[in-house]
A and B are shown apart, each in its own frame.
Chain A
Amino acid sequence: MTTVIDILSWVLLLAGSIFVFIGGIGTLRFPTFYTRLHAASLTDGIGTILILGGLVLQAGWTLAAFKLLAILVFLLLTGPTAAYALANAADMSGMKPEENEVSEVEK
């Protein structure tokens, strides 16, 4: 049983790392602000869930597992909020997705 849980947790951790890695590449390589934000949200969402899920499986039924779940809840609340605040701030400062796309690619 422990081996199954161990393997499952490693699968989750690896999958999470891959998503975070792809998110990181996307944040660096995408041309415009909004597409970069989209890539970064990958890290916030599925990456967090998978990695913390894997860690919870590693921790078992302990206080650490509860703490990890609490961290997961907070990250799932704050991550999208931060992304929203960023997008909103960009929108308010006059950066529109369409115009911006062309101008930044040319750079």
Chain B
Amino acid sequence: MVTLFAVFLLTLLVLTAIAVVQTKNLFVAVMLMGIFSLLMATVFFILDAADVALTEAAVGAGISTMLFLATLALTGEHEKPSKKGPWISGLVVAITSLILIDATFEQPYLGDPMAPVQQHVAPWYLEMTPELMDFPNVVTAVLASFRGYDTLGEVFVVLTACIGVLFILSAGPGAPNPKSPRIPTAPSVGLRHHLIPRVVGKLLIPFIVLFGLYVQFHGEYSPGGGFQAGAIIAAGMILYALLEGEKQALKVLPQSVLIGMVVGGAMLYGMVGVVGMLMGGNFLDYSVLSSNPVSGQQIGILIIEIGVGLAVCGALLAIFHAFAARRSVG
């Protein structure tokens, strides 16, 4: 039954992807991308990846749709028909697909417990998590502790991307000019005149933020953690900015605070590692943080998850405001 459902969803996924590439209207393409992400999240859930499904739903369907729409507002939504012949690209794609399809026949079947990927460190992680950390969510344990270096790197990639976006979008002809505040146009006033979305939206925002905090602090016991929580809370704040206008949202969380959150979150993560080193352990080895290695691990994971949450939330909101503050040129 589940297999049937999965086949149906995967087919739908492929069809949606074709529709996205086919359409000439970029606005439609972005909306279809939202559907694509949601389908992808469902597929992830069927494949037992609850944490990943949560992230994909919050980031793929929420934040990246928002970013695409913000860009379309500045660049226009119609794609001009391409003059170059699709034949050569079609040929390249066809040959590559044939090679890849041929390669899939070498793959182990879906769900094969003897597949090479299941033999390496994964059983060890599953076995050692209750012993070393004493909490149930193995994904959080691997993310924050066993592969803490990896995650630290990812947080710094997010930080770097955020810095890059802020640099690129704070210069040039469309840069927001602090001296002459722009005339409040439709997006900056938000949906103030639309009573129903505003009332319902404001009703939902506290619940969204609360759910984000739950995902943040319950990440060791149920699907969740800093990455998902950061994305969910950022989505809640973006909803607030859409309803009340960007100005009001910047009053609640000014850009300086957001940048502080990004840098502070990344630094917090790094500092936990350094403190561990000063206390006699290795970098990002949390067992020395407390007299009991297990509670040390738990403390370390809790703190770095907070760092991740702050960094992701701050970065996504700073990026959103950088796009929203941009004026349309020409």
Chain A–chain B contact at Cβ < 8 A: yes
- A interface with B by C-beta (< 8 Å): 74, 77-78, 81, 84-85, 88
Chain A residues, CB < 8 A from B200: 77-78, 81
A84 to B207, CA, bound (A): 21
Q: Please, which residue of chain B has its CB at the minimum distance from the CB of A81?
A: B200
**Would you give the shortest CB distance from B190 to chain A, in whole angstroms?**
13
Please report whether the interface of chain B is mostly helix, strand, loop or mixed according to DSSP: helix
For A78, the chain B residues whose CB sits under 8 A away are 200, 204
User: Chain B residues near A74 (CB, 8 Å)?
Assistant: 204, 207
17 inter-chain pairs at a CB distance below 8 angstroms, sorted by A residue, are A74-B204, A74-B207, A77-B200, A77-B203, A77-B204, A78-B200, A78-B204, A81-B196, A81-B197, A81-B200, A81-B201, A84-B196, A84-B197, A85-B194, A85-B196, A85-B197, A88-B194
Chain A, Cβ-Cβ closest to B198: A81
Q: How far is the CB of B246 from chain A (nearest CB, A)?
A: 18
Contact with A along B177-204 (1 / 0, CB 8 A): 0000000000000000010110011011
Beta-carbon nearest neighbor of B191 in chain A: A85
Q: Give B78-115 as 1s and 0s: 1 = Cβ < 8 Å from A's Cβ atoms.
A: 00000000000000000000000000000000000000
CA distance A60 to B203 in the complex (A): 29
Which B residues from 213 to 267 make CB contacts under 8 A with A?
none
Measured between beta carbons, the chain A residues less than 8 angstroms from B201 are: 81
In the complex, chain A residues whose CB is within 8 Å of the CB of B203: 77
Q: Which residue of A lies closest to B207 (CB)?
A: A74
Residues on A with C-beta less than 8 A from B197 are 81, 84-85
Considering the complex, give the chain B residue whose CB is closest to the CB of A70: B207
CA distance A94 to B194 in the complex (A): 17
* B35 → A minimal CB distance (Å): 13
Residues of chain A lying within 8 A (CB to CB) of residue B204: 74, 77-78
Q: Give bound CA distance, A74 to B205, whole Å.
A: 12
User: In the assembly, what is the distance between CA of A74 and CA of B207, in Å?
Assistant: 10
List the A side residues contacting B196 at CB < 8 Å: 81, 84-85
CA–CA, A74 and B204, complex, Å? 8
* A77-B200, A77-B203 known, 12 other contacts, Cβ within 8 Å: A74-B207, A77-B204, A78-B200, A78-B204, A81-B196, A81-B197, A81-B201, A84-B196, A84-B197, A85-B194, A85-B196, A85-B197
A83–B201 Cα gap in the complex (Å)?
A: 14
Residues on the A chain within 8 Å of B207, using CB:
74
